[in-house]
Amino acid sequence: MTPKDSYLTLPTSIRLHYLDWDGSSRPLILLHGLASSCRIWDLTAPFLAERFHTLALDQRGHGLSDKPGSYTFAETTGDLAAFIDRLPLKRPVIAGHSWGAGVTLQFAADYPEIPAAIALIDGGFTERSSSQSWEQAETMMRPPEIDGTPVETFVGFMKRWPDIAPIWSEQLQDMVLSNLEVRDGRVYRRLPIPDHMKIAREIWEQDTSLLWERVRCQVLMVPAIKESGDPRSALWNQAKLQGIETAKRKLKNATVVPMKDTIHDVPIQRPKELAQAIIEFAAGIN
């Protein structure tokens, strides 16, 4: 099943790119994370397209969408609201990964009448500002300088990355390279580091505990849990699980499906299992 490459210009004049698997069933919108693109859903979306009208969106500044230089949650959720209105899509399910989960949660709180349900994929659970100073978060969240790196060098590094090496394939290579611009045999970030850090600051400042009570729809939370000997990883897993417990106390209808022994990029490592979790969760939507 091959999606259609599509574009939509919003009332703000921002043009968004998305992949559309079409269909007449309930719409499902997929949102990627920071410095990623709609292509992270390439392995998961075909399973979802059997049950939903599936659309994977390049959020502003990412993939083939416009790069306006401003990336607040108010703006990203406004883009999503306009996207849904323009197509139009009635009572969609919205699934977001990582930063996309934060956008999804913010959207469900700010536009509670629109989504039928939301799915948060290893994101949107924690309040970074409650456990880290911005200086600490800034150091952790700043990406490496890669602009000008030869494609062969970049791909060689990715192939050897411990979490990715076991699942590396030509398709995954295409997905990863789609996040970047390739010019004269070298890779360059589509989202410059200063803009990346604007979004990182938004993530750090997001107060999820104040959002849960404003969410009216059903919520699926899918944390990736990977045990390791790294104390920072253990603390991060603990923070995610604590955030989920807070959410469960405040939400009227929450489902949790942990993905054990799974890296952060769940749509890449566990596409079939993730799709099944979303499909089973959506079966209970009114």
Contact 50, 22 (CB under 8 A): no
pTM above 0.75, yes or no: yes
E strand spans, the chain: 4-9, 15-20, 27-31, 53-57, 93-97, 117-121, 149-150, 180-183, 186-189, 218-222, 224-225, 254-256, 259-260
Higher pLDDT, 21 or 229: 21
Whole-number Å distance between alpha carbons of 206 and 124? 9
pLDDT digits (tens, 9 = 90+) for 81-98: 999 999 999 999 999 999
Q: What is the side-by-side strand order in the sheet with 180-183?
A: 149-150, 186-189, 180-183
Q: What is the pLDDT of residue 238?
A: 87
Q: Is the pLDDT of residue 221 over 90?
A: yes
Average pLDDT of the chain, as a whole number: 95
Confidence of residue 226 (pLDDT cuts 50, 70, 90): confident
C-alpha torsion angle, residues 130, 136, 139, 141 (rounded to 10): -10
pLDDT digits (tens, 9 = 90+) for 232-266: 788 888 889 999 999 999 998 899 999 999 999 99
Q: How many CB atoms lie within 10 A of CB 174?
A: 11
